[in-house]
């Protein structure tokens, strides 16, 4: 009976568990092990020997990252280019924002850490922007003619037929003969003729604000005889120039007048803004271009640009160059950083209207002809225009559409949209200005803009001065402190008590010794100042006594003490 029981114990009704099928990585690993049997031995020997540990944490991290990159991939191949791709230095300079703070030794530890963290974040943003700049989908281009062909002779009809349907539809004419002449203005995103929520119109007497449907919202009678207007988007300020010579600023977020400046330079019919620092440029009949800020009643800079009156001016988006035209038929290109002219050109009839595109193209209107120039300040002196177009009436206003190769022309017979290849920026920042934003995105941007509104007090020639230390104010405060204390606390090094044993270098004892030395120094300074004061008083009395002995008494000497 024992034999069948043993068989029953050894045999069971539960079958053996099957092994799972081998995966592809296990097979490749086995092949590598069979191919390199010596590698296992070396790894075992290396594991037995102790490794040297570095004291610095970043060294350990680098070693770990190297070990990870040294591992083989599933395919068995190694990465020939491990790590991140290098970024060209020119690409990094394109996205550089300011310079690093060099004088960190004179700051406190907490301030040092804050500055280093901000600089590290700025460097990371610069590298990421330079790296992702290669992924931008669009490339800018210009109109290139055949050999011996001049691009300014190409007609707009030929360009509209050669391009795609969407781009060709951007060339059109609006015949508006009932009213006029017409001036034009594009919004920052290039989708509307002004902001889609509301727009300002300067009529013959007062300033009016309308909504997108043309309903009058406000009539501002404090702004009268307005000739030119500029809107500062980051400050929510509407700057107006009047025929009476007043430059006024209106805060459209609260409906309050921020500043009213009497320029004392006559009629103001030439106006432009610097997008870099929100400074207003005004042209005057005596050939002067003045730069204004709402914080000062006097102009920041005065430049004599022309021998006659200034007819028009424009400033590029970087705030580096300014182009002016005058009654002397001169077209001048100025470097605002040095306030010096770069080039001066002579036009047979002068330019009545100027406008600069996002990529540096200059449009100049002369009578009923609009000419577009390329490489105004970067490629030397220009000899011929890039493009030209003739409209029906005399031109009263020109303006490039942002992010589009379109130039808007307002003239006496209506409005003309002209195709200018290479005028607009090919790529846009959707978080800053989005041409395709929805109604909800526009509302969110408006709320964000109001929360981050820049105050008018911060408008100045150099916006980088806001993050710097005002040395004059620091020296003035230090001088006032010295006068109040009677001595200079920073004149000599602070007293450092030496270490003593038996508990005599405790915190309380050290502080007591410091105070004692400080009081003694203060007493010495007070004694010295008192002695100097007594010596001066003694000298004054002696000089008065000598004068009394030398001359007789005057009639008013009896009133002297």
The H or E element spanning position 238 is strand 237-242
Q: Is the model's pLDDT at 549 over the cut of 50?
A: yes
Q: Is the model's pLDDT at 285 over the cut of 80?
A: yes
Low-confidence winner among 30-34, 172-176, 415-419, 447-451 (lowest mean pLDDT): 30-34
- Tell me what the mean pLDDT of segment 160-167 comes to: 90
Question: Using 50, 70 and 90 to split pLDDT, how confident is the model at 37?
Answer: low
| pLDDT at site 505 | 77
Model confidence, pTM: 0.67
User: Which residue from 408, 410, 417 is spatially nearest to 393, judged by alpha carbons?
Assistant: 410
Contact 303, 338 (CB under 8 A): no
Partners of 292 in beta bridges: 280
- Taken in order of first residue, the domains within the chain and their CATH numbers are 152-451 (2.130.10.10), 469-541 (no CATH)
DSSP 330: E
**Axis crossing angle, helix 24-35 with helix 37-48, rounded to the nearest 10:** 90
Q: Is the model's pLDDT at 145 over the cut of 60?
A: yes
Residues 6+ away with beta carbon under 8 Å from 289: 281, 282, 283, 302, 303, 305, 310, 313, 322, 324
Low-confidence winner among 270-274, 361-365, 435-439 (lowest mean pLDDT): 435-439
| pLDDT at site 546 | 83
- Tell me what the mean pLDDT of segment 41-61 comes to: 46
Q: Is the model's pLDDT at 45 over the cut of 50?
A: no
How many residues appear in the chain? Answer: 561
| pLDDT at site 385 | 92
Of the two residues 547 and 126, the one the predictor is more confident about is: 126
151-188 burial by CB neighbour count: b if 16+ within 10 A, else e?
bbebebeebbeebeeebbebbebeeeeeeeebebbbbb
Low-confidence winner among 35-49, 77-91, 267-281, 458-472 (lowest mean pLDDT): 35-49
Q: What is the dihedral of CA 461, 467, 472, 478, to 10 degrees?
A: 160
Q: Is the model's pLDDT at 10 over the cut of 60?
A: no
Q: What phi and psi, each to the nearest 5 degrees, are found at residue 400?
A: -85, 140
Extract the tokens encoding 552.
């007789």
Of the two residues 432 and 170, the one the predictor is more confident about is: 170
Of the two residues 481 and 331, the one the predictor is more confident about is: 331
Residues 6+ away with beta carbon under 8 Å from 379: none
């Amino acid at each position: 009976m024992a034999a069948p029981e043993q068989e029953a114990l050894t045999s069971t009704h539960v079958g053996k568990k099957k092994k799972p099928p081998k995966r592809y990585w296990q097979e490749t690993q086995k092949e590598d092990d069979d191919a390199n049997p010596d590698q296992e031995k070396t790894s075992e020997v290396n594991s037995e020997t102790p490794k040297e540990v570095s004291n610095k944490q970043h060294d350990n991290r680098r070693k770990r990252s190297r070990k990870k990159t040294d591992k083989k991939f599933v395919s068995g191949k190694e990465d020939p280019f491990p790590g991140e791709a290098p970024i060209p230095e020119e690409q990094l300079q394109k996205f550089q924002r300011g310079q690093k703070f060099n004088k960190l030794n004179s700051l406190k530890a907490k301030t040092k850490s804050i500055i280093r963290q901000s600089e590290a974040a700025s460097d990371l943003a610069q590298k990421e922007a330079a790296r992702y700049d290669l992924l931008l989908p669009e490339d800018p281009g210009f109109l290139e003619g055949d050999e011996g062909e001049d691009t300014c002779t190409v007609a707009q009809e030929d360009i509209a037929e050669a391009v795609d349907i969407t781009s060709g539809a951007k060339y059109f004419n609006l015949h508006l003969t009932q009213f006029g002449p017409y001036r034009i203005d594009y919004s920052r995103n290039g989708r509307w003729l002004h902001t889609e929520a509301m727009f300002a119109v300067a009529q013959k007497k007062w300033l009016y604000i309308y909504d997108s449907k043309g309903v009058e919202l406000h009539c501002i009678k404090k702004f009268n005889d307005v000739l030119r207007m500029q809107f500062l988007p980051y400050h929510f300020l509407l700057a107006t120039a009047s025929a009476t010579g007043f430059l006024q600023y209106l805060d459209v977020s609260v409906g309050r007048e921020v500043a009213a400046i009497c320029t004392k330079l006559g009629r103001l019919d030439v106006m432009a803004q610097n997008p870099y620092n929100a400074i207003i440029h005004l042209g005057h009949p005596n050939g002067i271009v003045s730069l204004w800020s709402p914080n000062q009643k006097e102009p920041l800079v005065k430049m004599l640009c022309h021998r006659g009156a200034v007819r028009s001016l424009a400033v590029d988006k970087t705030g580096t160059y300014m182009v002016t035209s005058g009654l002397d038929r001169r077209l001048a290109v100025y470097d605002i950083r040095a306030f010096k002219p770069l080039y001066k050109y002579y036009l047979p009839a002068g330019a009545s209207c100027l406008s600069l595109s996002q990529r540096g193209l200059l449009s100049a209107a002369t009578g009923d002809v609009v000419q577009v120039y390329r490489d105004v300040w970067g490629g030397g002196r220009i000899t011929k225009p890039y493009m030209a177009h003739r409209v029906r009436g005399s031109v009263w206003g020109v303006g490039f559409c942002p992010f589009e190769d379109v130039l808007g022309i307002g003239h006496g017979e209506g409005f003309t949209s002209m195709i200018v290849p290479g005028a607009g920026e090919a790529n846009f920042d959707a978080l800053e200005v989005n041409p395709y934003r929805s109604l909800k995105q526009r509302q969110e941007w408006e709320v964000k803009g109001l929360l981050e509104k820049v105050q008018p007090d911060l408008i100045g020639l150099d916006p980088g001065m806001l993050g710097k230390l005002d040395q004059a104010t620091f020296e003035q405060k230090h001088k006032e402190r010295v006068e109040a204390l009677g001595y200079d606390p920073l004149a000599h090094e602070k007293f450092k008590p030496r270490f003593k044993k038996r508990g005599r270098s405790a915190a309380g004892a050290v502080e007591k010794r410091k105070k004692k030395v400080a009081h003694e120094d203060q007493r010495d300074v007070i004694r010295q100042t008192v002695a100097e004061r007594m010596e001066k008083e003694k000298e004054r009395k002696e000089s008065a006594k000598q004068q009394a002995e030398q001359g007789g008494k005057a009639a008013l000497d009896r009133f002297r003490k």
